[in-house]
Amino acid sequence: MVSILLVDDHPMLRQGVAQLIEMEDGLTVVGEAGSGEQALLRAEELNPDMILLDLNMRDMDGIATLVALRERGVSACIMIFTVSDEHDDVVAALRAGADGYLLKDTEPEELLRSIVLASKGQPVYSPQLASVLASGVRDTRPDCGEMLARLTGREKQILRHISTGETNKTIARELNITEATVKVHVKNTLRKLALRSRVEAAVWVVENRLFE
């Protein structure tokens, strides 16, 4: 069962989407939010599998909400669901870590199919965005520098050790802290970088030549 949080400032639209989603086996709406603020609260409270996020909300920019969600470690699959097919919006969303981008004029069946696909980890984009995507924006992530800047000094230090293949134990020894503490830093680092393992972290560092 895929749990979904709807974020949109139009109650009617939320209702429509919710109804549609509930009709599909395997999908369920566990919460709704009408603003960025509420989205942050609900996301942490409900820990949904997926968040459908509108970009154009009154109180808080959708992109800002997206960034805030990611920074708080919300691991949900975040799908943008909006009216805007503006190049800049799409790019910004992808850079901020969106897992998909659907336009609101998508047909209901298409929307459902996309949600199911996305819930399986596959990024989904509306076909209308092909031109934008093709122009090489595929790199879903923010700048490496930006990402690195989110880490504390200690975390960067430990990331560097990870990228040389060291174990938590040896890192602890070299930094004169306990392995437990190293684990804490590793965990926080992985969360902030939205990576799933130290191997991914090591590869990311080396590929982007981050400490050279």
Partner DNA sequence: GTGCTACTACTACCATGGTGGTAGTTTTCG
Partner DNA sequence: CGAAAACTACCACCATGGTAGTAGTAGCAC
Residues in touch with a second copy (CB under 8 A)? 162-165, 167, 195-200, 202-203, 206-207
- Give the Cα separation of 59 and 6 in Å (integer): 16
**Candidate residues 46, 175, 194, 210; the one interacting with DNA per rule CB under 7 A:** 175
Decide whether 30 or 195 has the Cβ nearer to a second copy. 195
Tokens at residue 106, please?
Answer: 């998508």
Per the DSSP assignment, residues forming a β-bridge with 77 are 50
**Candidate residues 19, 45, 167, 203; the one interacting with DNA per rule CB under 7 A:** 167
Instruction: Please state the closest distance from residue 202 (CB atom) to DNA, in A.
Output: 9
Q: Which of the listed partners (a second copy, DNA, none) does 131 bind, with a CB threshold of 5 to 8 Å by partner kind?
A: none
**Candidate residues 57, 66, 198, 205; the one interacting with DNA per rule CB under 7 A:** 198
- Taking CA 69 as the corner, what is the angle to CA 193 and CA 16, rounded to the nearest 5 degrees? 135
Decide whether 39 or 182 has the Cβ nearer to a second copy. 182
For residues 129-158, which are near DNA according to CB under 7 A?
Answer: 152-155
Q: Which of the listed partners (DNA, a second copy, none) does 178 bind, with a CB threshold of 5 to 8 Å by partner kind?
A: DNA
- Near DNA by CB under 7 A, which window of 2-10, 81-89, 127-135, 190-198? 190-198
- Give the Cα separation of 9 and 60 in Å (integer): 10
77, 121 contact by CB (below 8 A): yes
- Give the Cα separation of 176 and 190 in Å (integer): 21
- Give the Cα separation of 75 and 62 in Å (integer): 17
**Candidate residues 12, 25, 136, 180; the one interacting with DNA per rule CB under 7 A:** 180
Residue 177 binds DNA, judged by CB under 7 A? yes
Instruction: Please state the closest distance from residue 160 (CB atom) to a second copy, in A.
Output: 12
Q: Which residues bind DNA (CB under 7 A)?
A: 73, 152-155, 167-169, 175, 177-178, 180-181, 183-187, 190-191, 196-199
